[in-house]
Structure 1
């Protein structure tokens, strides 16, 4: 079987090209397909992904695509767990968000987009996500495997020890991985990619993920929450503040675990909180090409920057 066999028959032929784009953290293969004068994205599930999880993700992805939140699904090969979607050219979500001329519009649209995600129906039998339990699971299996700076352990232990404020309202269908790499802007709307972790979740979680990865200050967080809720916020809710710290801790530990998997040597003993680059400085080094995700050093630096951010919240 070839990758071309996963395409519908009308897109197979001598002029069809299939080029790898990336292999995500899940191990899925992602490819750009050029066929019949059009561009598509083919995603083939990793062997480690269960059939039930794949079907649940596909169901949620269909819901999102049908409401314009995700690229249109063109073809599905269920036996081989492959999904072909329309290719959407990204006109740079980062530029849309960072440009002072469009920042307010981008922030408002982000809030509305998250609200639309949370309005999707929660599929029957969908598995609830518990980020605190996931953090504890990774942390318990992580500590003996690599030396860490003292502040990294402090950030994680603080997040695990903090009591969760009570939740107001029901769980919603959360995307649960709204980092900027999963957001594209087509010139009119924000679309969301990679629904593999979607499932029932506290509404604050998606909003907190955005606030962490986009380095939102308190005022920007208030405007995001106001756009999401349709009413002005003058103070950040306790549960949002808690969730933001939890998100930073979980994301940081996940990045350190990826560094360990790529054989990073761990802390040397010289790392301190003050000497560790901030998240903003990490992004600058990435943009300059000094660090790259997918490498041990890149994941290590990203993880420490996120845990430094956690302690600052």
Structure 2
């Protein structure tokens, strides 16, 4: 193995990585290697240059590879998958030199581009397994509660409203489609011309509104953008029922991500750490500019903790509106 590669690859994986490179490229000579950052996964992900071309080398023995990456790559939605070694947790895929998706498409075009991409995901023929979405959310909330890190009236109100959603939402209808389930900005890449979706480890058959809601929570911010987003996906204006399910799932998505942020934050502190209980005035509107300016990072306890609070506050704010009450009525 080249010295360039051996400086980065753990010794127990050296031989397996050499085999992967030889089988994929006919050489083990790597011109350059650099660690990619930005995701929340602890798995090492590298950009490697071989034969003057960039690729992504991922080492993750803790995760079972999803066959859905292959399906998404075959559909042209995910970067090409060149090699996969499930025994050693090694994969090699195409590298996307990502540009800021908001800058490339702008606020008017981005909702349509995202919706078209999600529609393409949901159109992939798949016989993959499905998960019980309601049970998954219950588990995420239970995991947060076991931490005993935050409590108070905002959380009581949030979970009370979620209980209403839980009892009314049509969890087991026929709306299940091939879904990504984690369309956050770190998984939405743009090469300057089109969108690529990466990290398919949590993909399975699911309610179509999860992908729509998650993407919208990160990229769709006005009523006009929302109309364009849904109209593109549904090939015309969304009726009241579809709009209601979408709106409700946006709040569910915010709750899910807030719980996950809190759980990540808790990992960075001792079990007996006393977390700041203040929830007042922590909003996405104030937090996003700080994140964009690099003042707050989701790789830190503070960033994860504050982002979790802002997401939960936004969900509670939305669930206090007449639109939320009307949406619950619309779904039945």
TM-score range, shorter chain: 0.7 to 0.9
- Report the counterpart of residue 75 of structure 2 in structure 1: 67
Note closer, same or farther for the CA distance 1:83–1:308 as it changes in structure 2 (3 Å cut): same
- Report the counterpart of residue 244 of structure 1 in structure 2: 250
Q: Which of 140, 157, 162 is equivalent to 1:159?
A: 162
State the SS of the aligned residue for 2:92: strand
What 5-or-longer segments of structure 2 have no aligned partner?
1-12, 319-332
Instruction: Give the alignment's Cα RMSD to 1 decimal.
Output: 2.3
Counterpart-to-counterpart distance in 1, 2:19 and 2:262: 35
TM-score, normalised with respect to structure 1: 0.86
Counterpart-to-counterpart distance in 1, 2:141 and 2:111: 33
Q: Which of 141, 144, 164 is equivalent to 1:139?
A: 141
Q: Answer yes or no: is 1:42 the counterpart of 2:57.
A: yes
Matches for 1:89-108 after TM superposition, within 5 Å: 89-97=97-105, 99=106, 103-108=107-112
Shift of 1:148: 1.5
Q: Give runs of ≥4 in structure 1 deviating > 6 Å.
A: none
Shift of 1:38: 0.8
Shift of 1:299: 0.5
State the SS of the aligned residue for 1:39: strand
Note closer, same or farther for the CA distance 1:144–1:83 as it changes in structure 2 (3 Å cut): closer
TM-score, normalised with respect to structure 2: 0.81
Q: Answer yes or no: is 1:7 the counterpart of 2:14.
A: no
Contact 1:139 / 1:253 at 8 angstroms: preserved in 2? Answer: yes
State the SS of the aligned residue for 2:83: strand
What 5-or-longer segments of structure 1 have no aligned partner?
none
Q: Answer yes or no: is 1:117 the counterpart of 2:121.
A: yes
Q: Answer yes or no: is 1:127 the counterpart of 2:93.
A: no
Counterpart-to-counterpart distance in 1, 2:119 and 2:85: 31
Q: Deviations over 1:59-105 (max 9, x none)?
A: 211111112101111222233232111111112213134x3xxx332
- Report the counterpart of residue 269 of structure 2 in structure 1: 263
Higher helix share: 2
- Report the counterpart of residue 35 of structure 2 in structure 1: 20
Contact 1:156 / 1:249 at 8 angstroms: preserved in 2? Answer: no
- Alignment size in residue pairs: 297
Shift of 1:4: 4.0
Contact 2:220 / 2:226 at 8 angstroms: preserved in 1? Answer: no
Contact 1:260 / 1:266 at 8 angstroms: preserved in 2? Answer: no
Task: Name the larger-Rg structure.
Answer: 2
Shift of 1:23: 8.1
